[in-house]
Structure 1
Amino acid sequence: MATKRQVEFLSKGVKVRGDLVVPDGAGPFPLLVMGGGWCYVKEIVMPHYAKAIVEKGVAVLMFDYRCMGASEGTPRQHIDPAAQVEDYKSAITFGETLKEIDPGRIGVWGISYAGGHVLIVGATDPRVKCVISNIPVVDGYENMRRVHGSQRFHQLNELILADRRERTKGATAGGRMPMSSLKPFEELSTWPFPSIHTIFHDIKGREAPRHEHWSTIESTELMMSYDVGPFAKRLYNTPTLMIVAEGDEITLWDLEIGVFNSIPSPHKRLVVLPKVSHMSLYSKQDDLAIAGRLAAEFAAEQLGAAR
């Protein structure tokens, strides 16, 4: 049977915590480093994907970003994409030190916001031997503009500007805003989809009690400057799998496919899952199983797993 243990490591001096799951048998094993998306803790979705990956003979390191879940760091629920990319690289560095792990066979996996992060990590860290990107955020500004619509996007920008003024005046972390809302036309949230609110609160009740459904307002401001495109063009030879949900209106499948097409690596693969929504890759076991199998097979192939 696979063995699982809690681990911790430092990322720019902040203690980050996660779970290491190692397949049974003799190592050293290849490793897939796994991070989550907006407001995620490692219990959201990642263990379900990890099971399929470990069964293919690849160890996984699932971690909570700084300021989130079991990890340390303040302000809490602050989502800084540059810091989260740094946490991925720190996780890779930690993985290199483990006796069970082959440091020459490490890949990265991410979903939603982290689906974009792993493209950046793969482009900027030569230790990454494969990238698995699920339903990624690739252009934060365009994503926010389209999901909110012109009038609400203007209101979102006004909120962000007011928060910036307050942070500067008071030297504080600023205000907070919901991840999503059941009443998106009455309450501003980062992701204005009632389905996100319903599904994530269900997951929180069942298996992810550390999930908090809010972030700092500055987190959304930081996402407005987030653009994966320039990094994707630097994935010259890194094997890359991108999994896209057909018609995804949350992270925008047309933008995702555009970024995939810009990747110059000849070792890339795009899978568009038909009749699958963004949120079904969290909530529907059949859809999650398909994406998990694709990731496991790609990781095993690219990282040279024995199974």
Structure 2
Amino acid sequence: MSTQREVEFLSQGITLRGDLVLPDGPGPFPLLVMGGGWCYVKEIVMPHYAKAIVGKGVAVLMFDYRCMGASEGLPRQHIDPAAQIEDYKSAISFGESLPEIDADRIGVWGISYAGGHVLVVGATDPRVKCVISNIPVVDGYENMRRVHGSQRFHELTELFLADRRERTLAGTAGGRMSMSSLTPFTQLSTWPFPSIHTIFHDIKEREAPRHEHWSTIESTELLLSYNVAPFAKRLYDTPTLMIVAEGDEITLWDLEIAVFNSIPSARKQLAVLPKVSHMSLYAKQDDLAVAGGLAADFAAKQLGGNAA
């Protein structure tokens, strides 16, 4: 059993909204702050990952980034990783202010793009007592170059230049770009995998009606400057769990493992899930249960959970 309520808080003056889920029993509880990948999070994460974590006696705060989901901010569907990292830190500030939460036992959880964000947050915010990184994006430039191939990557960079000129000369937010496409060889998209298109549209139909399968073109341009490796090297003593899907061709498991190996903390754990794809951790209940169980056990061990 648990108690769930909608909450809102400010991040750099912008109103963010999310859900706070508290375990049964007396508080104050440890807290895991949860953010989504190239999408908003609340209806996609719940009840899957959060349910297992709350079951271990750890509260969760699931929030939508600025410009996405239930949160405010313009332009809509603009994905700025630096701003999203600030949103994580604002969520921590909000969480630690609540009487139900133990401010000394707060961790962060992220998946895909947010799997990279939490490594940065953990390295730069001393309030973070543990990091759980699922199938993270760790090097945006290398990721995009590899998944698009040389010719399509060239076309992608040409699109960025055209959009940058439009934003500068016309004073607009620029154009839109599909998150993925069923025809990636003829339609440019950020993540050129038909499986992403199929699975997220199924999730939208089933449980996440606010999901929008596009972003600003500038969002993908910003991804090219994203690299978490320098921050991973600063996780000296923060317990860190990284969950990797074996053979992940979307966020590139070899890059993920290289970043994990660079983390100097002795309190780190790597879980490589065999025969699991990137999108399995969004769509397949058995795989969700495995990754959710690993996260719940790690959070409870590092933050206290029911044992506290």
Band of TM-score, shorter chain: over 0.9
Q: Does the Cα contact within 8 Å between 2:107 and 2:129 map onto a contact in 1?
A: yes
Q: How does 1:23-172 map to 2 (within 5 A)?
A: 23-172=23-172
User: What displacement does 1:42 show?
Assistant: 1.7
Spell out structure 1 runs of 4+ moving beyond 4 A.
none
Answer yes or no: is the 8 Å Cα contact 1:34–1:46 preserved in 2: no
2:251 and 2:90 mapped to 1: Cα distance?
A: 26
Taking the TM superposition and a 5 Å limit, the aligned residue runs for 1:248-259 are 248-259=248-259
SS of the residue corresponding to residue 305 of structure 2 reads coil
For residues 256 and 46 of structure 1, what CA distance do their matches in structure 2 show?
A: 25
Q: 1:213: which partner in 2?
A: 213
Preserved CA contact (<8 Å) 2:122 2:238 = yes
Contact in 1 for aligned 2:110/2:133 (Cα 8 Å): yes
State how 1:263-282 maps to structure 2 within 5 Å: 263-282=263-282
In the TM superposition, residue 121 of structure 1 has moved relative to its aligned partner by 0.1
Q: Is the 8 A contact 1:41 1:68 kept in 2?
A: no
Q: Which amino acid is the alignment partner of residue 27 of structure 1?
A: G
Instruction: Could you tell me which runs of 5 or more consecutive residues in structure 1 were left unpaired when the two chains were aligned.
Output: none
Distance 1:165 1:46 in 2: 40
Amino acid in the other structure paired with 1:178: S
State the Cα distance separating 1:41 from its structure 2 match.
3.3
1:176 paired residue number: 176
Contact 1:66–1:72 (CA under 8 A) maintained in structure 2: yes
CA-to-partner distance for each residue in 1:101-160, whole Å, 9 max, x for gaps? 000000000000000000000000000000000000000000000000000000000001
Calculate the TM-score normalised by the size of structure 1: 0.99
TM-score normalised per structure 2 = 0.99
For 1:148 and 1:280, the matched residues in 2 are separated by 21
Give the distance between the partners of 1:154 and 1:191, measured in 2 at CA: 15
> Per-residue deviation at 1:46?
4.2
Contact (CA 8 Å) 1:53, 1:292: kept in 2 or not? yes
Tell me what 2:18 maps to: 18
| Conserved 8 A contact 2:41-2:62 | no
Consecutive unaligned residues of structure 2, counting only runs of 5 or more, are none
User: Following the alignment from structure 2 to structure 1, what is the Cα–Cα distance between the partners of residues 237 and 127?
Assistant: 13
**SS at structure 2 position matched to 1:282:** helix
Distance 1:240 1:41 in 2: 21
Matches within 5 A, 1:217-236: 217-236=217-236
Determine the structure 2 residue equivalent to 1:185. 185
Aligned partner of residue 110 in structure 2, secondary structure:
strand
Letter in 1 for 2:213: H
Structure 1 residue 165: Cα displacement? 0.5
Structure 1 CA distance, aligned partners of 2:197 and 2:45? 15
Instruction: Please say if residues 23 and 58 of structure 2, whose CA atoms lie closer than 8 Å, have aligned partners that are also in contact.
Output: yes
Counterpart secondary structure, 1:306 = helix
Deviation at 1:304, TM superposition (A): 1.1
Whether contact under 8 Å (1:41, 1:210) holds in the other structure is: no
For 1:195, the equivalent position in structure 2 comes to: 195
2:283 aligns with 283
CA positional deviation for 1:80: 0.1
CA RMSD after TM alignment: 0.6
Check conservation: 1:122, 1:131, Cα contact below 8 A.
yes
Deviation at 1:39, TM superposition (A): 2.2
CA deviation profile, 1:261-290 (whole Å, cap 9, x unmatched): 000000000000000000000110000000
Equivalent pair of 2:19/2:61 in contact (CA under 8 Å): yes
Specify the code of the residue in structure 2 equivalent to 1:48.
H
In 1, are the aligned partners of 2:14 and 2:73 still within 8 Å (CA)?
yes
Distance in 2 between residues matched to 1:40 and 1:188, nearest whole Å? 22
| CA–CA distance in structure 1, aligned partners of residues 47 and 88 of structure 2 | 17
Q: Secondary structure at the match of 1:201?
A: helix
One-letter identity of the residue aligned with 2:48: H
Conserved 8 A contact 1:39-1:215: no
Equivalent residue letter for 2:192:
P
Identity rate of aligned residues, in percent? 85
Contact 2:143–2:251 (8 Å) recurs in 1? yes
